[in-house]
Amino acid sequence: MDQKDGEFLIRFARETIELWVKDRKVMKKPRNLSDEFYEERGVFVTLHTYPGKELRGCIGIPQPVKPLIEAVIESAMSVTQDPRFPDLTMGELDRVIVEVSILTKPERIRVKKPEEYPERVEIGKDGLIIKNGMQSGLLLPQVPKEYGWDAKAYLEHLCMKASLPPDAWTFEGTEILRFRSEIFSEETPGGRVEKA
């Protein structure tokens, strides 16, 4: 996705958030978008406080089950009500930065034994999903970079995100999937958009 499309997505996500927070109205799908916006893609919308850059919400659809533009609308509305935080208020709208991550289709990492996982994970590039029974969790590729984790710490935090023990990535029956993402983010609230 090029810079122009990324800028459009960020502005559109912000407008969707503002419309939902102010009026509880669902953003209409724009017309005459390029084909890329109608491809089924996984998406996450993340909010960070400004200027502190602390997480304020992160919600998305990991699997490519909806057209990109629809996934952005749903994720942008949902991120205002991330259950880990109080609902986003109108007063916060000019104090949050909007980030959109467009995901590739998750693919299972195949290993002969679990000890091989850390060497198969590329920090800063691979987002990860863990599945074990009914438990699952996801971390975006930017997360381990932000926290300075190595691959083993990344896997441990992934397990904890899924409410599993930190070493669950070594358990029989655990699946680890990887995906990549294109990330666009505002530098300041409503400001210039950069591609990570």
DSSP per-residue string spanning 3-52:
HHHHHHHHHHHHHHHHHHHHH--PPPPPSS--GGGGSB-EEEEEEEETTT
Residues 79 and 17 in one domain: yes
Could you say which DSSP state residue 87 is in?
P
Q: What is the pLDDT of residue 196?
A: 85
pLDDT tens for 91-146 read 999 999 999 999 999 999 999 999 999 999 999 999 999 999 999 999 999 999 99
Domain of residue 141: give its range. Answer: 107-179
DSSP per-residue string spanning 121-137:
--TTT-EEEEEETTEEE
pLDDT tens for 80-94 read 999 999 999 999 999
Residues 8 and 97 in one domain: yes
CATH of the domain at 52: 3.30.700.20
Residues 92 and 127 in one domain: no
